[in-house]
Amino acid sequence: MSHSLEGNAQKPRAMVEDNLEAALDLERELDKWSLDTRFPLMPGQRHVEVPNCRPLGMQYGEDAEPVGQQFSSRLVALLACHADSAARVASLGRCLRSAEAQKRRPDRFLVGTSAADPAVARLLPDVVQSSPSVDEHVAAHDGQPVARFEHYRRMRDVVRDREDRLEDVWVFISGGDDSWHPCRCADFAVAVDEVRRRVQRDVYVVGSCDPGFQLTDLCVRFSTFSAFFEEHNSRVLRHPLADIRFCSFVRHCGEIPRKLDGQQALVKEQVGVAAQAPCPDDECLLANLKELCGEDLDCCLSEQQRDQILPLCAALRQLLDHDLFSLPRSRFTALESEVLHMAASASDSFPARRLEAHGIKRATVVKWLRAVAFCRCKLFRIELFKFDFCAGCGRESTFQCAHCRAESYCSEDCQRAAWNEGHRLRCVAASQPHSPTDLRSPHSEPGDFQPVD
């Protein structure tokens, strides 16, 4: 029942007993929609229904504790191994023994194996199945080499079929030649339990995220782990740098796409990238380089020079791939300016200078590297944007802060919101008494923007 106040204003009607059931129905409907949206089910799967409680909700009261405390998070360990020799099989056995020595065993342990040699393939089942810590063996029987992340993708599908409460599943991964320290699983369990106890739904990964971290340092929410395979094609999964892309993805999952730090050197010669042998792609890149050079290179390019130039093409391709796979974005996106900066940095590297020593002009090397960079983007389905992303909502934007030129916005509302949320502290002109209107230009009117050059 409503009561009249001053004027024509009406006091909102209070919640009465007969509306309580309708409110609970609406809450259950919203919970179901949120669950189905965040964790879509495969055919034959179903979510576990917990009557009259929300698994990760909060009780009412001063001493609020998670309602779902009785439902502990599950840790799933995935191990992938492609065995090409008996020594590799022995290394897998040592890794499994280190898993058996864990102070806390994972709730589920899946091992994926493959081998091209039939003799080696016959050794794998005995080694895997002899370990009491392994719950399931996912073997590839086609006799073809299977990349590490392709193994993880197969085991991801198995986990979706086996686990019911996927929102509480965390995954940590390993290779067949890694050794687990005895407290690895226990440390992850403590970190995950802390996240769940605090009901931090926006935490996607726990572990060490310092520069130089490895896959063995990470424990990832299953939803984020699964999203990686949904957003990347098979070429990325088979690439030697797939682990770099995975680590970058899980660290920035859920964030608004952000541009790289302008002060960061995008291409470094000492980045720890393992040297790779030239691949068929490098033969095509060399052919493209010869086309750009014209007759000058065709006349003087001997077989010996070709053998010297091909590894340089491979090295430059690896440098570009390393930077593309390290993009700090939740999705595989890049700005055209970033790609051009990567190409320019690669043109100053040692392999590029070696190309100039073979008589190739610098302008030709720069033009060729730009073409290679955009070609790699197309190959790995990296979505390119001409303009930056809005720092407020993530949409593509054509306007930026006129003072620091470090943040971009799509509208005045996003710009004002970002200014009030802390951009004023980061802006180079924050020491002066400017308002958000002054942020665009000293004499602009409200609604004007500073366009991106």
Residue-wise pLDDT for 185-214, tens only, equals: 998 988 888 887 777 777 888 875 454 467
Q: Angle at Cα 370 formed by Cα 368 and Cα 372, nearest 5°?
A: 70
pLDDT (average), residues 307-319? 87
141, 124: one domain = yes
Q: Is residue 417 part of a domain?
A: yes
Element housing 114 (H / E): strand 108-114
Q: Residue length, the chain?
A: 453
Q: Is residue 304 part of a domain?
A: yes
117, 211: one domain = yes
The pTM of this model reads 0.71
114, 243: one domain = yes
pLDDT (average), residues 70-77? 79
84, 176: one domain = yes
pLDDT (average), residues 98-127? 91
392, 381: one domain = no
Q: For residue 115, give the CATH number of its domain.
A: 3.90.550.10
Q: Is residue 267 part of a domain?
A: no
Q: Is residue 50 part of a domain?
A: no
Q: Is residue 325 part of a domain?
A: yes
C-alpha 47/C-alpha 163 separation (Å) is 10
400, 371: one domain = no
79, 222: one domain = yes
Q: Angle at Cα 447 formed by Cα 445 and Cα 449, nearest 5°?
A: 90
397, 371: one domain = no
Number of domains in the chain: 3
Query: Are residues 248 and 242 in contact, defined by beta-carbon separation less than 8 angstroms?
Result: no
Q: Is residue 9 part of a domain?
A: no
430, 400: one domain = yes
pLDDT digits (tens, 9 = 90+) for 230-251: 888 888 999 988 988 998 888 8
pLDDT (average), residues 147-175? 90
Torsion from C-alpha of 87, 91, 93, 95, nearest 10 degrees: -170
Q: Which of 136-145, 155-164, 282-291, 408-417 is modeled with the greatest confidence?
A: 155-164
> In sequence order, what are the residues at sequence separation of 6 or more whose Cβ sits closer than 8 angstroms to the Cβ of residue 394?
256, 257
226, 349: one domain = no
Query: Are residues 384 and 334 in contact, defined by beta-carbon separation less than 8 angstroms?
Result: yes
214, 313: one domain = no
Domain extent, residue 227, equals 70-252
pLDDT at 390: 82
On the question of pLDDT at 445 being above 50, the answer is no
pLDDT at 55: 39
On the question of pLDDT at 359 being above 70, the answer is yes
Last residue of a domain, one of 359, 385, 411: 385
The mean pLDDT value of the chain amounts to 76
DSSP type of residue 17: G
Query: Are residues 150 and 228 in contact, defined by beta-carbon separation less than 8 angstroms?
Result: no
On the question of pLDDT at 394 being above 80, the answer is no
Q: Is residue 289 part of a domain?
A: yes
112, 200: one domain = yes
